[in-house]
Each structure stands twice: as structure tokens, then as C-alpha cells.
Structure 1
């Protein structure tokens, strides 16, 4: 716990101040963020049916030149992108400075500076026909030939509609949705194993917790969220085998008042490290700091929100992903000529994820343990979901003698919480 003896254990959270520091309007019936419930619920069905399909690594997974052909049957020719300035467009469902999902993509876009790439972007675009208009404007007015519409709900029907209208434009969607059997060749998709970074963050939390109780504020019990909760807990229990994680589901992806209430409730129950899986961790981080407990971030670096208590966090590293996409396109490789794989997923060893810099409270021992785990993640030698693993009801969820690596299809339909998590999926 952070030394904060002047604070009472229970704190009345000022709701008007909460909404003010979000830097975005309060939600209304027409707010685009309200559509996120159904958007992410779709993931459950996709994961359960294995719709994500086979994946490729960004740097090594491109289809070999000997196996690719152009429409005329020859080898892929260099595209015009290599002869003129490359224009790439980025679209976000929320603000660029949300300290969360959208900010992570914006930071990835900013990493393209110096690569002879012109970028255009637009924030707070809802998952409606408005995103079609935004994409069309980027293509027709800004002359963009590569688009990154980053929100899950942009894919169907919006990206698919524009891809049909503009067959020479490449559309890369964040969410691992591409299906070769039914989607256009100028559409690609990418995503990352962010739970690997959550495992490392859990290791740090395990070192730093004094109470042996961690708190997790989560939106919905879908596979990706459950995987983050479980990996964080397994990381912590690798340090302290009896540590527990209390989870509270808020029911939606952007409910700042409920996120604050959940954080306060977890602290009241004894949790001294708080983390989350919501669209913007801003509220959770600031509330934890006010309560005088440690925090672990998600999506992007939230250290500035909790200068005393921020330990680290699980971050996306889209800069490397977007940089490699740009370089391949500048070399004349495209989705259409087979030079770029249509479905990309990766973890630590592929450069898709990372942890935030350690906060000032993190001990040397915790840093050493985390660095050691990161090194193993980068070589692929560490398996998080090992044989014999049980859920919090005592049921074996990973069979004895069989490990589930990061790419295991069984993890894509996860509907359980590991031993040590206090909470239910239903």
C-alpha cells in the first residue's frame, strides 16, 4: 500500500469531477460508445467457432514469393506506392487522448514519422455509416491508399462495403476478423496476445502486494477479457501462490461512474493493487491513486495519472506493427499480390505488446523478475497455460500433460476464471 494515512478508507467519489476529467461528453442515447456492447459480444461467437483462422507473423509470415502471383500469373510487381508518397489513414472510435485503446493506436500512427509516409486520421468516429464517410473522404480527398479503421465494429458492414467500392485500396482492421473464404483480397486484419503483457504485470503485482489481494475492474466476461484476468492472476501467483484477484464486471466498456465505484469497492475489500480491462483506464487509475493503492494499467501508459502508485501496465506496441506494414507497402508488397498476409497476430516475440516503464515504487526484485519473464516471452519459452490448470470451481481446464501456448485455439473460447480469481463469469 502507498503511505497515505491522511485519507479515510472510504472515499465519496465526486461524480461531476469524474465526468470532467474524462475530457469527453457524457454518454447519451446517441453516443457511439453505446454500441460497444453488441460489438464485443460478437467476439464470443467468433472465438468459439474458431473464425479467426490461421495466423501469420508480421515480419516472417508473408507468403513466399514463389507462391504468389499477380492477376496475369507473374511475380508480384512493385506497386505505385514505392514510387510516390504513401498516404495512410487511421480512424478511431474514441478520442486520441483517452489514455486507452484509441490513444495506443494514435501513438502507433505517430511512430511512422520519418518514414516518408503521410498520415491522416480522424477520432471519435462511431461504428455507423459515419465511418464509411470518413474512409471515403480519406480515399477521395486525402488520396489515402492504405486505411487502418481500428475499432472492432467498423469491420462488417462498413470496411467490407468500402473495400468493394475501392478494390485498389488496402484496408487493415484491428480485430483478427479476416476470413479468406468470404472477405475481399484487399482486406486484412491484425491483433495481439496482450495477455502476455498482463502476465508480466501480474508478476510485478505479486511482488508489490502486501495484502495478498488484487482487484480487477472488467467490462464483460468475454474470452479476451477473461484471458487478461487469468493471465494477470497466474503471473501474480507465480510469485505468491496464495494471492487472489477479486474481479468486478461493470457490464459495459465505458461506464466511468461504475468503474470508480468498482475500484472503491475493491479497495474497501482489501485489494492493494488495482488493474482493469475497460476502454479507458483513466478513471480506475485516478481512483486507485486517490485511495492510496497501487495500480497497473492497460492499453497505453497511464503513469501520469498515478505518479505514486502506478507500477506498470500491459500495452499494445502498434508503432512496430504500423512501421512494418508501411515498409512492406513501400517495397511494393500488398494484400492483393500476396506480399502481405491477410491475418496477423503476435505477442512479445513479435513486437505486438510490451509493459509500461516501471513506476517509482517498484522494487529491484520485482523488476528483475519481470525482466526475466519478458526475456522468456520474447523467446517463446514461457507457457502461461500449463497442463493440469484448474478453474476457480476446481475443474481442470487444461488437461494434464498438455500445455496451451499463446496460439492455442482452446484459449479463444475461454469461458472460465482460473483458481485464485474471486468472481463468476455469469
Structure 2
């Protein structure tokens, strides 16, 4: 009996000791109850610490314009998808006092405010000075601050290429161009278009009229009609709407749009047009802001980095014209050809650029004169 009691006592002691040792040892890394929880906490921690910036866009028009605002909105959507950000937009904001009020309101609620029209420059600049902790991005302007940068692209490269096509397709050597506003951005684009046309047809001239609009289809169609009445047989335009190429199509005249692929608006008479691609810029810039590496700059993209290109050719553009343009496009991308290289003479016969020289970015961005071959004036 004693032996039995001693055996039972010893057995109990062994069981207690074993349980104590098991509870004292750390759980294995492979333990199904511990590992997933620890892993989830570790992966959730960085997500909790990473704060997504609040981003707001201000548009001069609406994405439905099929041109300038449409392409900016496409870029915004790409940025949202790439970075997991949900941004906000304010549409149809006029340039001037209204824009400043909108920028002020957005600066109070957002980390990044983006303005997509040249005329927003001064209103944004005024507001940016009052909100140094907010980042501001302005399209096509030239004023900067430590918290305000600008961005633009060498769209004149694309304009030169569609000008080449225009020079090949004209029958009477008279081209027309409906300019938006007489600012450098529009002026040097018209110059590039003309130089491109002259490269394939030295006998052309380009008549220019001004609509003084960015998006006003009725006014732009009226301006286009005034050129068509003069007998131009290729018509280009710089506005955000397809009104000009639609007017051209009604007369059976070749049309060149702007900013986005406008082929669907005049499928039978459409040539092509300069096209924007803002997505990579918005994505890279907002990511830099998120990473804390962003610095104010005056960004000027090109065909090489894809910010500007040409829209697909219309269905009735001959293959030899397409091939000619594509070859020159590759030269521009490779850096073996520069649009603004001498000799260049202005419409008054003055030599603006001597042979062998190239215009600097600063000279291009401050252009206030027309090249030889343009018929029209630049309002002061």
C-alpha cells in the first residue's frame, strides 16, 4: 500500500513538473495560434503609419470636353489607381477671382492642390504664400515657390509632326489655325506647326485667327468658319473642343485637333493632333510628396518621356504620310532632331535664330513672335 501511495505521489509530481516546464518554454514560431496574429500586426503597423495625402484638382472645363481637361482627368485616374488615392475635382472654374476663392477653400482641406490652366497662376501663387504646408502644382505657368511647382510638356514637338502631315496633304498650300489665347504656349505651338508644314511643303502659308477661348464651341466654330471661308484646305486648332475640326469636316476639309484623340468627331477628314499623357507625371509627383522627397520645380516633359505624343492618324491619311511622320518622331525621341533649330526667320524677315543654333527652353517659353509663313498678328 505504501509503495502504491509512493508511486501515485511520484507520478503526480512528474506530471506537475512536466506541465510547469511546458508552460515555461516559449511557443514555437510555427505555432498556428501565434504566428498569424504576429504577422498581421507587423503588416498592419506600416499601413497605419502611412497617411495618404488629400489631393484636389481644379479644372477650367469638364472631362467631357474631349480635350485638355479630359486628358488631365485621365492622368488623375491613373494616379489614383497606381497610388490607391481618392482625389477630388472642382470643374468649370473661371480664371481670376473665382479661382483664388476655390484654391483658398481647397487649401484648408487638402495636402496637395493642382490647377490645370495657365490663368490660374496668379490666384494659386497668392494662396500658396498663405499655406506653406500645402503643396501646389500649376500647369503651364512660370511662377514658383518652395511649396509651388509648375509642369508642362514640349507639345511643340507633336505640333511639328502634325504640321508635316498638313504640308503633305494640302492641295492649295493654304492652311488655317484657330489660336486660343495669344500667350507663348500657343504662339510657339503655332510656330512649330508651321515649321513642320514647311519642312514637307515650303510653299505653304498659315492663316491665324484668335478665338480668345479655351472651351467655347460656338465661338470656336465661328472662328474656324472664317478661315474656311478664306479657302484653307487644312485646319488646325488649339482649343479644348472639337468644334473647329467639326466645322472643317462639314466642308470636306482636313482637320487637326488638340490635346486628345479627336478622331471620332470627324472620322473621314481627321489627320491627327498633339496629345497629352499626364498620368506618369501625376503619379511620380504625388508619390514623391508621399515619400517626402518632393521639391518645387518647373517640370518640362517631352516626347521622350511620353508626356506628349501624337494621336493615331485618321483612317484616310495615306501610308506614306504616316511613315514620314513616324520617322521624324523617332528622331525627336532619339534627340537627333530639334524642332527649333536655325535658321529661323520671323514673319517680318528678321533672323531670329542663326543656322546651327538651337533655341533654349527659356527662349521657347517666352516666344512672342511668329515665324515666316504665318499670316496674322499677335494681339498685345
The 1-side partners of 2:166 and 2:270 are apart by 10
Structure 1 residue aligned with 2:114, among 133, 143, 148?
148
State the structure with more CA Rg: 2
- 1:131 matches 2:99: yes
State the TM-score, normalizing by the size of structure 2: 0.79
In the other structure, the counterpart of 2:23 is none
Q: In the alignment, is the contact (CA less than 8 A) between 2:213 and 2:220 conserved in 1?
A: no
Q: In the alignment, is the contact (CA less than 8 A) between 1:81 and 1:329 conserved in 2?
A: no
The 1-side partners of 2:114 and 2:103 are apart by 9
- 1:9-408 matches, within 5 Å, as 83-115=50-82, 116-141=84-109, 144-156=110-122, 158-179=123-144, 184-254=145-215, 256-278=217-239, 280-335=240-295, 341-404=296-359, 407-408=360-361
Q: How many residues align?
A: 333
Q: Residues 168 and 373 (structure 1 numbering): CA distance in 2 closer, same or farther, change over 3 Å? A: same
Q: Residues 164 and 401 (structure 1 numbering): CA distance in 2 closer, same or farther, change over 3 Å? A: closer
User: Unaligned regions of 5+ residues in structure 2, if any?
Assistant: 1-46
Aligned to 2:86, what secondary structure does the other structure show? strand
Q: Residues 329 and 393 (structure 1 numbering): CA distance in 2 closer, same or farther, change over 3 Å? A: same
Per mean C-alpha deviation after superposition, the further-off stretch among 96-105 and 246-255 is: 246-255
Q: Residues 220 and 121 (structure 1 numbering): CA distance in 2 closer, same or farther, change over 3 Å? A: closer
The 2-side partners of 1:82 and 1:293 are apart by 59
The 1-side partners of 2:264 and 2:279 are apart by 21
The 2-side partners of 1:231 and 1:253 are apart by 20
Measured on the aligned residues, the alpha-carbon RMSD in Å equals 2.5
The 1-side partners of 2:288 and 2:325 are apart by 33
- 1:412 matches 2:365: yes
Structure with greater helix percent: 2
Higher-RCO chain (CA-CA 8 Å, sequence separation at least 6): 1
Aligned to 2:243, what secondary structure does the other structure show? helix
Aligned to 2:304, what secondary structure does the other structure show? helix
Q: Residues 161 and 248 (structure 1 numbering): CA distance in 2 closer, same or farther, change over 3 Å? A: closer
Aligned to 2:63, what secondary structure does the other structure show? coil
State the TM-score, normalizing by the size of structure 1: 0.71
**After superposition, what is the alpha-carbon deviation per residue over 1:96-146, rounded to whole angstroms, capped at 9, x for unaligned?**
2123322221222122242212211110122345434534554555xx322
Q: Residues 327 and 266 (structure 1 numbering): CA distance in 2 closer, same or farther, change over 3 Å? A: same
Q: In the alignment, is the contact (CA less than 8 A) between 1:224 and 1:412 conserved in 2?
A: yes
Q: In the alignment, is the contact (CA less than 8 A) between 1:387 and 1:399 conserved in 2?
A: yes
The 1-side partners of 2:326 and 2:49 are apart by 39
Aligned to 2:127, what secondary structure does the other structure show? helix
Q: Residues 94 and 401 (structure 1 numbering): CA distance in 2 closer, same or farther, change over 3 Å? A: same
**After superposition, what is the alpha-carbon deviation per residue over 1:257-298, rounded to whole angstroms, capped at 9, x for unaligned?**
4432332232233322110123x2321121111111111111
Q: In the alignment, is the contact (CA less than 8 A) between 1:391 and 1:416 conserved in 2?
A: yes
In the other structure, the counterpart of 1:423 is 376
In the other structure, the counterpart of 2:5 is none
